[in-house]
A and B are shown apart, each in its own frame.
Chain A
Amino acid sequence: MSALTNRLYQLAGLVPVGASVLDVGCSDGRLLAHLRDDRQVDGRGIEIDPERVALAVARGLSVVQGDAEHDLAAFPGNSVDYAILSETLQAMARPALVLAELVRIGRRAIIAFPNFGHWRVRADLLLTGRMPVTRRLPQSWYDTPNIHLCTVRDFLALAEEMGLTIEQQHFLSYRKRIRFCPNLRADHALFVLRK
């Protein structure tokens, strides 16, 4: 089984033992498998790519092939403890709608995304005058799936606009925890929210 990246490992640490989880955009189910095996989590997933779904199901996970922007509607409200969206928010056509679905389905939502306010991104744009290409965002503007990148401050503003309560926030730069000036220094952000 594929080892978890540090980012996924940090995220997994936010999920209590025995919780129920819906992982939106769960890929081949690596996070769900880890949560099941290490934290006795009752997990479900949704993933758009059929080959990844087949891998996840072959691992014994309850994963449905579907599109977060259309197929989350069928999930009942408050049906899981945690709805997780990891590294996917910025690839959504309608991120606010997906976020609203997450806090509807989950009693809490965990959102993880790359911070576009990171100093490397800012420096790249400032110095080269071109769309930033960094370690965390390695694709050029014309072939990236990331169509709605945001900064930590952008996300906080959206959460406030939607009336969401932020219960926890964690920031990472590569493997290090960041406490001060996260919007400048963190390349990765993790939020636990609820309605």
Chain B
Amino acid sequence: MSPLVSHNSIRLGFDLPLDSGQTLPSPAISFETVGKLNERRDNAILVCHALTGDQYVASTHPLTGKPGWWTRMVGEGKPIDPARHFVICSNVIGGCMGSEGPASPHPDDGRLWGLRFPVITVADMVRAQGALLDHLGIKALRAVIGGSMGGMQAMQWAASFPDRVHSVVIIAAAARHSAQNIAFHEVGRQAIMADSKWKGGAYEPGAGPSKGLAVARMAAHITYLSEAGLTAKFGRRLQMKDAKSFGFDADFQVESYLRHQGMSFVDRFDANSYLYVTRALDYFDLAESHGGQLASAFQKTGARFCVISFDTDWLYPTSEAKRVVQALVAAGRHVSFVELSSPYGHDAFLLDTPGLNNVVDGFLRSAEQLP
């Protein structure tokens, strides 16, 4: 591991207030940092992770052994470069990689929170990140950036902490969850809760509803890809090249692929966490908390924005990105917006997408030249 990478976990010294009206007693926050905070403490970039992401943005994941999830964007010579940036990526509250979540021990009895964990929102996640910055002694971020749920946290940042962020990069995200988005999440949650091992959320560690969670992941994974991408990758090709089984094994390659996606997911993700984080996304509607006017959410910040969508993303399509852009324009903000072309659907933000790094790099560099 690079000497510039550091992993830490802190416990907030106070109870975190939540949108639900409840509080989270001294929650733990686990985070990765890459690079060094400069003397002026003004080179910090907060990277926000997606639904099933975590803080391992630029270093090997301890459970999967895979490289960091955004090494295409974060690293030496990349748009987010530890040579000039201090990169922070924290596991969201409600997550399961060390930040306080349903799989953490409850402070009262030491048993897992389970469904006793309060329902959290994207704004709660951002509130926890703000507290983390206080802990690190960082007044303002040079940039906050994220894709998918990370993009939603980024726009929430501009609304929650208008004076603490100079640039905001929103990739493959929307300012609200649509009925279709909620519907897919509900399928996933029902799959988890229908698994007899779920036990009302009170399962023991290692004995959770892995089949239900795998099905949830399979359903969600389809929404991350495009039809053209799936067709190009699998078509109707059979797993065993010769013949159909006339049974219900994974005859088609696409079935086998999805099963693998589902099964490998359960090794690194907690089922209850999946319920909580998908719920947070479904509750997300940035306009709702600003009198129904999305532009009002961006009225107080002086930050510059860069919004990027992908032409084959049907989970958070360009039309939703344009809603965000129109609101930013109406609020008088400086905004850049481009729809990039990619065959990969929603997942394009994680993959090699021509133009993505150039756009982000140009945006971040120009913002850094401003006084």
Contacts and interface: CB of A to CB of B under 8 A. Distances in A.
Contacts of A79: 332
Contacts of A51: 355
B341 interface: yes
Interface stretch (A63-71, A89-97, A162-170): A63-71
Interface size class of chain A, counting residues whose CB lies under 8 Å from the partner chain: 20 to 34
Nearest to B334: A62
A50 interface: yes
Interface in B231-261: none
A62 B332 contact: no
A66 B335 CA distance: 12
A58 interface: yes
Contact of B326 (A56, A57, A59, A71): A71
Contacts of B326: 71, 74
- Residues of A contacting B: mostly: mixed
Contacts of B10: none
A76 B329 CA distance: 8
Contacts of B365: 60
Contacts of A11: none
Given A64-B329, A64-B335, A71-B326, A54 B355 contact: yes
A74 B329 contact: yes
A141 B287 CA distance: 47
A51 B341 CA distance: 9
- Which among A44, A50, A76 has the highest number of chain B CB atoms within 10 Å? A50
Main secondary structure, interface of B, reads helix
Interface string B299-328: 000001010000000000000001001110
Contacts, number: 69
Nearest to A64: B337
B136 to A, nearest CB: 28
Given A59-B366, A74-B330, A79-B332, A65 B339 contact: yes
A65 B367 CA distance: 19
B364 to A, nearest CB: 9
A54 B359 contact: yes
Interface string A104-126: 00000000000000000000000
A146 B340 CA distance: 27
A61 B366 contact: yes
Given A50-B340, A57-B338, A76-B332, A62 B361 contact: no
Contacts of B334: 44, 62
A64 B318 CA distance: 13
A131 B304 CA distance: 46
B363 interface: yes
A156 B361 CA distance: 44
A9 interface: no
Contacts of B363: 57-58, 60
18 contacts: A50-B338, A53-B336, A54-B355, A54-B358, A58-B358, A58-B361, A58-B363, A59-B362, A59-B366, A61-B366, A63-B336, A63-B337, A66-B337, A71-B322, A71-B326, A74-B326, A74-B330, A75-B330
Given A63-B338, A64-B338, 18 more contacts: A44-B334, A53-B337, A53-B338, A57-B306, A57-B362, A58-B358, A58-B359, A58-B363, A61-B336, A64-B329, A64-B336, A64-B337, A65-B337, A66-B322, A66-B337, A71-B326, A74-B325, A76-B332
Interface of B: 304, 306, 322, 325-327, 329-330, 332, 334-341, 355, 358-359, 361-363, 365-367, 369
